[in-house]
Amino acid sequence: MQVKRTIKKKAVQTSLQIAKTAAKFAADKKAEDITVMDMRGVVNFCDFFVIASGTSTRHAQAIAEGVVDDFKDLGTRISRKEGMQQGVWVLVDLGSVVVHVFEKETREFYGLDHLWQDAKKVVWKR
Burial class (CB in 10 A: 0-12, 13-18, 19+), 25: buried
Q: Which of 4-13, 67-76, 90-99 has the lowest mean pLDDT?
A: 4-13
3-state SS assignment for residue 77: coil
The structural domains of the chain, ordered by start, are 15-122 (3.30.460.10)
Which residues are CB-contacts of 1 (< 8 A; sequence separation ≥ 6)? none
The pLDDT value recorded for residue 13 is: 75
The pLDDT value recorded for residue 98 is: 97
Q: pTM score, two decimals?
A: 0.88
Q: Please give the mean pLDDT across all residues of the chain.
A: 90
